[in-house]
Structure 1
């Protein structure tokens, strides 16, 4: 455990506090003005985050998933119902990435690989980008969108997020 002290502009306090909470297991942030009253002092007790566990397996992640046919239908309808250029929400990107991951998993079982794994990985990266931009309410446990393991295994991130979504949806 260690103590962090930061002196910053008061307007940056929320952004810095959020960054600290993302990087460390952090306690409550104590805030005091500097002597000149123009800046803010932040004090926080923090510790390194514990090493996260493994990604959920496909069986764990997709245990509650509807059939592939139903998900294809939902994804196609959702995309078709939105006027061109209108924002598709996080649920769309999550379910699309999970659908493509499930299709890629089936293709990998069948033998010779086509481009299903590549397409699934790109869809996973789109979801991660969506979550990084703060447009979604991602679960992020144990891996958040900026975590190095997420970049190394984007489809693992999709499984983590889908398992949480399916359980809580």
Structure 2
């Protein structure tokens, strides 16, 4: 479920941040420019001994992105360079309506791979039973929603963040194609 962020414009570590809030007090997001992890197509694997956290293989990007929290940019830690997972507009997805688990990565901490700085490993939480969720893909098969553990969000959540991006000038959303939509 997307959480509320106060509407504020400010500079954060790593770049310009813009926040939005609609008049109805609905959920709000923060748009900013920084280095971030993009997990929208990330496959995830269980971490040792945890049923609540998974490791997701995400891409490192620099530019505008959206999240529920301000951008952090790159932060040096004892584990390596840490960045946050953020959202960038998607073009298509498959809607899944089953009880399979999926990974919630938005605003989660990620460690940049020392050997390949274009990749990051993100510690995402396991979720399920939140309503229809999605798998970001450009092709759909009968197994899209029944195999792998994917970084995901609810369909409603993607609609909310897409509506937010429509109000920004820096990062416009695409017209999203639902690949397995009923005709």
- TM superposition score category, shorter chain reference: under 0.3
The structure whose Rg is larger is 1
More strand by share: 2
More helix by share: 1
User: So what's the TM-score if we normalise by structure 1?
Assistant: 0.23
